[in-house]
Chains A and B, each alone.
Chain A
Amino acid sequence: MEIIEILFTASFWAAAIRIASPLIFATLGELICERAGVLNLGIEGIMVAGAFAGWMAVYSGTGLWVGVGVAMLVGMAFGALHSTLTVPFGLSQHVVGLGVTLLATSSTYYAYRLALPEVTSPPKIEAFQPFEIPILSDIPVLGQALFAQTPFTYLAFVLVAVVAVVLYRTPLGLAVRAAGENPNAVAAQGLSVTAIRMGAVIVGSGFMAMGGAFLTMSAFDSFFFGMVNGRGWICIALVVFGSWKPGKALLGAVLFAAFDALQIRVQQTSFGAQIPYQIFLMMPYFLSILALVVMSRRAEVPAALMVPFNKGER
């Protein structure tokens, strides 16, 4: 019964939305890459780099939004590396992605150790604060859940709409969707598959880094090792779950986060106390695998995903 009650509290849904926010950014980023035909396994490392870059920028005195911009730029730089190797050179997207994750993670930790050599407990920053949207936040339950979040969370939701509109309502989005389905169609219309795919990976990687930055700038307020903790891999599952559609991916991320928020609360109930906490922590990963199993059969995978394109070769 406790569990049912939890589902009707504003604080529960507020937590779900907060947990969902970084996932939304990173899932959108991966979605853009995959729509253009590139699997970006650099996501996990790029989130680590973004988390550090945004936090470090703010820690060194820049404004919060500048920090977000710095994180995005760092993510885009890794995206440029990934896409250079996988698009014009057509290298294995699996190997390059894992390599980028490793490179981004290790260089982030290296930079962190250089920047703060003596620190044992990482310092906190003055992070994004909740902003109650007038009127809307007064709606019972829903208002406090949805409209009393930090501006960074609002940005996540705005971004979903922006990505959806660009993808389905502009020439650019059309080209991206075509590039992931049949790059020859793009080349035959005089467009550069290489430019479109690289652009998608670079922008997508920027979004992934913003997802990482959310962790340090709107959730934990500081940077520590292992903080991304597989969220990137979960986002890859969320892209599949969302059938490569921004709206469905958003829904998937929120559902997933709601489940995560629920397990945290159930842990604290008398029932949850009898179960080892690790069982609860495993749940998100099991849920991701389950989502993959359920969706893998029916999802419409972009036909040219992971297929390199070499001009003039048919």
Chain B
Amino acid sequence: MATTKVEALSLNAITKTFGELTANDAVSFSVHQGEVVALLGENGAGKTTLMNILFGQYTADSGSVAVFGQTLPPGNSREALNAGVGMVHQHFTLADNLTVQENITLGSRPLLSPRLGRSAARAKIIALSERFHLAVSPDARVGSLTVGERQRVEILKALYRDVRVLILDEPTAVLTPQETDDLFATLRLAIADGLSIIFISHKLHEVMAIADRVVVLRHGKVTGGARTQDTDTKALAAMMMGVEAVPPQVAPANPGAALMELQGVSTPDVGNAPGLRDVTLALRAGQIIGLAGVSGNGQAALADVVGGLRAAAAGQVVLNGAPVQSWSPRTAVRSGIARIPEDRHKTGTIGDFDLTENAILERYKTAEFSTAGWLNWRKSRDFAEGIISKYDVRCPGADTPIRLLSGGNMQKLILGRVLEAGPQIILANQPVRGLDIGAVNYVHSQLLAARDRGAAVLLISEDLDEVMALSDVIHVIADGRLSPGFERGSMTPAQLGVWMAGQGFDKEMAHAS
């Protein structure tokens, strides 16, 4: 695609350290006008830090950033914006209480200017949204928009500021395959106008589809690069991880009785997050059920119902053949449900508690760890130390605050905490998000081992590849509705994508009527 050889952006020997950690180590690369460069790397490889430096959120220890030959002053987002650098963050940077237009124009005029210049701004936004097929009303409150619409606002924000180099951080993580195609269509229009793009993604087939060139970052250093026309996804994966990715070897499942069933369960929406709509699902012994879907489509509600945090407003939850009466996290744990939460920092652990205190978090009230309201610290510590050795948690000791541990070790402690009791039902919500490849393999092998000893596993993930690799049966969730179960290997990603976009349901309805 790169027709001209004008250098739009160049990063020169960027180095940034945080304490003892070197996040970026003399990183250099450049992007030409109209070129799309994909930045690949595992979590913690230093991509986010690099982009924050490029965008002026951080100041590099050394090195410089130049846009169209002009060196940017370090640590100044405003200058980066003025020079034409735009960034769409993975977590949208929108204020829900403001309208689309207010979000787009925020900061575009000097703060002390007396007027907002609303009519001119409005005309420009409408012109841009028509030209780049980014349909969204300028007067809508951002709080009422869907995820896809919010992303359009983010891109409009950049276009409004006359962006020349656009950084997209995991832009497709929240989109269906079809929405991703729309996004790419918009981007191609802008590229044809001379926009340069840095595209950060884990989804290698998308990288192959949109990027001209790939730069690989590992442990803060540029370790490789290639033109996409000269490479393939397998080679890219190897470059990114430093090893060949080995898909887990999964033996055929041997499903048994239904241990837990949701029968026609509905829950109310919470704010923008949809609840469940008439969901029926059976978790069977010796089987991994995978839940695919774009984030924010009811996964949280389903996880909450299974994990005991939310009760069904309609329908019922059946455990081992009997409907549950009062449903709480504590009853869920007592009923033998192992719960691996989506966010290990915010909900899985208490950062300032040590490993012992975190290990007993779900069961400090049981006779094992306390009597008549008084804790038995000796037994608790023994329990924690057991987990530490059995699950290979790397830490200075059981009295270390857990916030000092890496994500992988934190997750191992959580695994140990929930698996030690030999649970019959396992709820694994995004169990490998943000982990490096070694920890990913470990978590997956633990889930498979639990399945093989007869546990029922519900795996919730936004990573379709992970769901397809591990699950014996896949359900898709879209806007709180659950698709029928699809046997392993019976669906292609594109076919699942149709369901993820919420379209399969309508056909099913048409069939029924």
> In this assembly, does B91 line the interface, its C-beta being within 8 Å of a C-beta of chain A?
yes
Q: Kindly state the separation between the CA atoms of A303 and B108 in the bound complex, as whole angstroms.
A: 23
Proximity string of chain A (165-201) to chain B, C-beta cutoff 8 Å, 1 when within and 0 when not:
0000111101101100110111111110000000000
- CB B129 to nearest CB in A, in angstroms, measures 19
Question: Which chain A residues border B97 with CB–CB below 8 Å?
Answer: 177, 181, 300, 302-303
B111 A177 Cβ-Cβ under 8 A: no
Q: Kindly state the separation between the CA atoms of A170 and B79 in the bound complex, as whole angstroms.
A: 22
Contact size class for B? 35 or more
B93 A170 Cβ-Cβ under 8 A: no
Which residues of B from 85 to 110 have beta carbons under 8 Å from A? 87, 89, 91, 93-98, 102-103, 105-110
> In this assembly, does A134 line the interface, its C-beta being within 8 Å of a C-beta of chain B?
no
Q: Kindly state the separation between the CA atoms of A186 and B95 in the bound complex, as whole angstroms.
A: 9
B81 A175 Cβ-Cβ under 8 A: no
- CB A135 to nearest CB in B, in angstroms, measures 31
| With A312-B52, A312-B58: A181-B96 Cβ-Cβ less than 8 Å | yes
Which residue in A169, A175, A302 is a CB contact (below 8 Å) of B115? A169
Q: Kindly state the separation between the CA atoms of A278 and B95 in the bound complex, as whole angstroms.
A: 46
Proximity string of chain B (74-85) to chain A, C-beta cutoff 8 Å, 1 when within and 0 when not:
001111111000
B106 A170 Cβ-Cβ under 8 A: no
> In this assembly, does B114 line the interface, its C-beta being within 8 Å of a C-beta of chain A?
yes
Which residue in A171, A175, A187 is a CB contact (below 8 Å) of B93? A187
B98 A189 Cβ-Cβ under 8 A: no
Which residue in B77, B94, B114 is a CB contact (below 8 Å) of A182? B94
Question: Which chain B residues border A178 with CB–CB below 8 Å?
Answer: 95, 98, 102-103, 106
- CB B357 to nearest CB in A, in angstroms, measures 23
Q: Kindly state the separation between the CA atoms of A290 and B76 in the bound complex, as whole angstroms.
A: 47
A186 B107 Cβ-Cβ under 8 A: yes
- CB A183 to nearest CB in B, in angstroms, measures 9
Question: Which chain B residues border A169 with CB–CB below 8 Å?
Answer: 115-116
Q: Kindly state the separation between the CA atoms of A183 and B58 in the bound complex, as whole angstroms.
A: 16
Q: Kindly state the separation between the CA atoms of A303 and B97 in the bound complex, as whole angstroms.
A: 9
Which residue in A170, A185, A314 is a CB contact (below 8 Å) of B95? A185
Question: Which chain B residues border A184 with CB–CB below 8 Å?
Answer: 89, 91, 93
Which residues of A from 264 to 291 have beta carbons under 8 Å from B? none
| With A169-B116, A312-B57: A181-B95 Cβ-Cβ less than 8 Å | yes
Contact size class for A? 20 to 34
Q: Kindly state the separation between the CA atoms of A177 and B113 in the bound complex, as whole angstroms.
A: 16
Proximity string of chain A (33-72) to chain B, C-beta cutoff 8 Å, 1 when within and 0 when not:
0000000000000000000000000000000000000000
A175 B108 Cβ-Cβ under 8 A: no
A185 B111 Cβ-Cβ under 8 A: no
A188 B98 Cβ-Cβ under 8 A: no
Question: Which chain A residues border B109 with CB–CB below 8 Å?
Answer: 171
> In this assembly, does B112 line the interface, its C-beta being within 8 Å of a C-beta of chain A?
yes
| With A170-B114, A171-B116, A178-B106: A190-B95 Cβ-Cβ less than 8 Å | no
Q: Kindly state the separation between the CA atoms of A200 and B78 in the bound complex, as whole angstroms.
A: 20
Question: Which chain A residues border B77 with CB–CB below 8 Å?
Answer: 187-190
Which residue in A172, A182, A311, A312 is a CB contact (below 8 Å) of B112? A172
Question: Which chain A residues border B95 with CB–CB below 8 Å?
Answer: 177-178, 181-182, 185-186
Which residue in B89, B93, B111 is a CB contact (below 8 Å) of A172? B111
Question: Which chain B residues border A174 with CB–CB below 8 Å?
Answer: 98, 102, 105-106, 116
Which residue in A170, A191, A312 is a CB contact (below 8 Å) of B107? A191
Proximity string of chain B (182-212) to chain A, C-beta cutoff 8 Å, 1 when within and 0 when not:
0000000000000000000000000000000
Q: Kindly state the separation between the CA atoms of A187 and B87 in the bound complex, as whole angstroms.
A: 11
Proximity string of chain B (380-393) to chain A, C-beta cutoff 8 Å, 1 when within and 0 when not:
00000000000000
A314 B106 Cβ-Cβ under 8 A: no
Question: Which chain A residues border B116 with CB–CB below 8 Å?
Answer: 169-171, 174
- CB B423 to nearest CB in A, in angstroms, measures 33
Question: Which chain A residues border B82 with CB–CB below 8 Å?
Answer: 190
Q: Kindly state the separation between the CA atoms of A172 and B115 in the bound complex, as whole angstroms.
A: 9
- CB B421 to nearest CB in A, in angstroms, measures 35
A189 B115 Cβ-Cβ under 8 A: no
Q: Kindly state the separation between the CA atoms of A57 and B301 in the bound complex, as whole angstroms.
A: 61
Query: Residues of B with Cβ closer than 8 Å to A?
Result: 52, 56-58, 76-82, 87, 89, 91, 93-98, 102-103, 105-116, 157
Pick 15 A–B contacts, CB within 8 A, sort by A.
A169-B115, A169-B116, A170-B115, A171-B106, A171-B107, A171-B112, A174-B106, A175-B106, A178-B95, A182-B93, A184-B89, A184-B93, A186-B106, A186-B107, A190-B80
A-B pairs, top 5 by smallest CB distance, nearest first, are A189-B107, A190-B78, A188-B93, A181-B95, A190-B77
